Amino acid sequence: MAKELIRLANCRMDFDGETVLDSINLYINDKEFLTLLGPSGCGKTTTLRIIGGFLQPTGGDVLFEGVRINDVPPHKRRVNTVFQRYALFPHLDVYDNIAFGLRIAKLSEDEIDERVEEMLEIVSLKGFENRSINALSGGQQQRVAIARALVNRPQVLLLDEPLGALDLRLRKDMQNELKRIQQAMGITFIYVTHDQEEALTMSDTVVVMDRGRIQQIGSPEDIYNEPKNAFVADFIGESNILDGIMRDDYLVEFFGRKFKCMDAGFEKNAPVDVVIRPEDIDIVPPDAGHLCGTVTSVTFKGVHYDIIVDFRGFKWLIQTTDYQPVGAYIGIKLTPNDIHVMKKSEYSGMFGDYSSYSAEYDEINDPDAIIGEEDAPLPEESLNEE
Amino acid sequence: MKNKLLAGPYLVWMTIFTIIPLAIVMYFAFTDSVTGSLTFRNLVSLKQYGPIFMKSVWLALVSSLICLVIGYPVAYYIAGCAPHNQRFLYMLVTLPMCISFLLRTLAWVALLEDTGIINSFITSLGLSPLPLIRNDGAVILGMVYNFLPYMILPLYSVIVKIDPRLIEAAQDLGCNSRQVFGKVVLPLSLPGVISGVTMVFVPAVSTFYISQKLGSSGATLIGDVIESQFKAAYNPNLGAAMSLGLMVLVFICIALMNRFSDDDGESMVTV
């Protein structure tokens, strides 16, 4: 039903003998909102730049509607980009920035005027026509950048961490705004971010990348509920990841106990990674628990408490609305739905152990976390926003 | 408070060596050379030097334009090189500045003279010598040669700071490489053009050594006339008036150029 628009076939990228992208295979449908998600250095921006035409892959093909476009320069592609930090022209005002692409296309001034005004309406910047770019706040510059790209009515809009420089509240507003614009205009969006929440909120399809490889492609629900390996499980949300052994179809053993689960198709007695989401764990009295452990740390998070529980030396993160004091001996209950089994991968053993838990795990996961969410002092920069 | 103190040494320097001398120039320019009384005669008599003023401005302007035409591509090229090569090329550009300005001009004399190196070679081939020296062309050559680095350096430092993503953004919006240059690179490098032209024009318009060594004896520039007022004719009052006139002229030229860059610089440039 959906029409395929762009395909990357075995795309490779090597810089000075270093592999940045390792055979990327990906197709993007018309009118889809696709997000490339991963930590910095995972190759997501490189992938975007290959689609935009700013980089040529050292191997493999880029296809647009089935036609190979490896050698087509950026100005001949029906693709526009919203750059990281916007890259607005400082020598032009808001109007001329937005009109830039239309003037290059040699449209009549009447039509340019009409389309620029329409775009200003969409990004709610009416009346800002003659403002200098430097007189705008980060959020406004961001909207000019989106307008400058969208006014050309591209088939595909590429967005390279467009909200990275905005503060949290503005970022949430812009997320909704972008999603609305995408649906209203019926344009394919390819969006790059390292923010998993942003990816889950906005996307039809999420592509999780790491070390130049695609780790998983799927809908936000799939990615969250059925992570393919320890990296995805850890990068998308919080996860406790344990070593287990698949005793049989629908039966997994960990911590010396056998649990029913929803997964099948593994070899008998195959070692596996078991993912248990912190919010899925039920706390029960010790005598009713499948496993029992001692609370070692409690952090109030607003909606819930983060509690760390020590089970035989392996520390789990549990998110619960029930307060448990440090030192309490508690039991936990797991239903087959709470247990997700994954094949062992190169990432096994690297994630999912909360022994070195710190209350700042959110900030650690997100290198560009907005200061001010917690109790850190507000930097002057973010005060200027909006 | 602190910042003001930091500017102190320079302020003292400026007062002693710029403001006071300027006041003296003004004083001389408005006083009579014999009686020492207040007069406008010196300034009025500048009229007869009008052609020399015009010629100085003209030659300086031509030199500035030639420097721009030669310097811009070089600056653009250097700014696009790998950082390591940029440092090397930057050094090459500044290298001639390490040698005395007088020496470099004299070297040109040795090259261009009727009995100089180039003409000796030509005559040895049995051809008649070329008139390479004692004309305006040689003066312009001397100016371009001496002042070219002052054009390249400001241009380079402006071009190298242009965000490469702006160039990508222009490509993304449909510009071919010529349009990228005309719509983005050139307008953004205009401040460099202005300061480069200023840095060449100002020393060129007031030079006297280059024209003395390379120019024809009849075709003196305003710098030469000023010099002769102090050294030969001993009329410092007229010399001061000429200096004042030259200064005003330079200020007008700079103001004109800055106007170009201030009022929407991009409108000047269309492709």
- Measured in degrees and rounded to the nearest 5, phi and psi for residue A17 equal 75, 0
Token pair 């721009």 in the structure block, residue:
B68
Query: Could you tell me if A84 and A48 are in contact, meaning their C-beta atoms sit under 8 angstroms apart?
Result: no
Q: Which CATH architecture has domain A226-355?
A: Beta Barrel (2.40)
- Which residue from A53, A83, A105 is facing B165, i.e. has the nearest CB? A83
Inter-chain touch B172–A149, beta carbons under 8 Å: yes
Domain boundaries, chain A: 4-222, 226-355
Give me the residues paired with residue B221 across strands.
Answer: none
CB contacts of A149 in chain B (<8 Å) are 172-173
| pLDDT per residue as tens digits for the range B162-176 | 999 999 999 999 999
Per-residue confidence at A383, pLDDT binned at 50, 70, 90? very low
- Which residue from A52, A87, A105 is facing B163, i.e. has the nearest CB? A87
CB contacts of B183 in chain A (<8 Å) are 100, 104
Looking at CA atoms only, how far is residue B251 from chain A in angstroms? 26
| pLDDT per residue as tens digits for the range B208-239 | 888 888 988 766 788 888 888 888 888 889 99
Q: Does A162 touch chain B (CB under 8 A)?
A: no
State the first-to-last Cα distance of chain B, in angstroms, to the nearest integer: 49
Report pLDDT for B271. Answer: 31
Interface probe for A, chosen from B171, B172, B184 (most Cβ of A below 10 Å), is B172
High-pLDDT (> 70) share of chain B, %: 94
Inter-chain touch A83–B168, beta carbons under 8 Å: yes
**Average pLDDT of the residues of chain B:** 88
Nearest Cα to B208, choosing from B142, B152, B151, B111?
B142
Phi-psi region for residue B221, left (φ > 0), alpha (ψ -120 to 50) or beta?
Answer: beta
ipTM: 0.77
Q: Does A52 touch chain B (CB under 8 A)?
A: yes
Q: How far is CA A379 from the centre of its chain?
A: 25
CATH number at residue B63: 1.10.3720.10
Q: Does A54 touch chain B (CB under 8 A)?
A: yes
Query: Could you tell me if B132 and B141 are in contact, meaning their C-beta atoms sit under 8 angstroms apart?
Result: no
Size of interface A-B (CB pairs under 8 A): 61
| pLDDT per residue as tens digits for the range B34-75 | 888 888 888 888 888 998 999 999 999 999 999 999 999 999
Answer yes or no: is B110 within a domain: yes
Strands (E), B168-218: none
Output the 3-class SS for B206-247.
HCCHHHHHHCCCCCCCHHHHHHHHHHCCCCHHHHHHHHHHHH
Q: HSE on the CB side for B189, CA within 13 Å?
A: 30
Per-residue confidence at B266, pLDDT binned at 50, 70, 90? very low
Q: Which CATH architecture has domain A4-222?
A: 3-Layer(aba) Sandwich (3.40)
Task: Tell me which residue range forms the domain holding B121.
Answer: 49-268
Report pLDDT for A374. Answer: 39
Residue A130 has pLDDT above 80, yes or no: yes
Report pLDDT for B129. Answer: 84
| pLDDT per residue as tens digits for the range A259-273 | 888 888 888 889 999
Q: Which amino acid is at B30?
A: F
Q: What is the CA radius of gyration of chain B?
A: 22
| pLDDT per residue as tens digits for the range B106-125 | 999 999 988 888 989 988 88
Q: What is the SS3 assignment for A159? A: strand
- Which residue from A52, A85, A88 is facing B172, i.e. has the nearest CB? A52
| pLDDT per residue as tens digits for the range A19-60 | 899 989 999 999 999 999 999 889 999 999 999 999 999 999
CB contacts of A104 in chain B (<8 Å) are 173-175, 179, 183
Query: In this structure, what token pair is assigned to residue A219?
Result: 């809908």
Q: Which chain B residue lies closest to A145 (C-alpha atoms)? A: B169
Q: Which amino acid is at A54?
A: F
- Which residue from B165, B175, B176 is facing A87, i.e. has the nearest CB? B165
Looking at CA atoms only, how far is residue B172 from chain A in angstroms? 5
State the first-to-last Cα distance of chain A, in angstroms, to the nearest integer: 41
CB contacts of B175 in chain A (<8 Å) are 75, 104
Put simply, whether the predicted model's pTM sits higher than 0.80 gets the answer no
Question: What's the count of helices (H) and strands (E) in chain B, helices before strands?
Answer: 15, 0
Query: Could you tell me if B29 and B237 are in contact, meaning their C-beta atoms sit under 8 angstroms apart?
Result: yes
Q: Does A349 touch chain B (CB under 8 A)?
A: no
How many Å apart are CA B144 and CA A226, to the nearest integer? Answer: 71
Answer yes or no: is B36 within a domain: no
Answer yes or no: is B53 within a domain: yes
Answer yes or no: is B152 within a domain: yes
Query: Could you tell me if B46 and B249 are in contact, meaning their C-beta atoms sit under 8 angstroms apart?
Result: no
How many Å apart are CA B33 and CA B28, to the nearest integer? Answer: 8
- Total domains in chain B come to 1
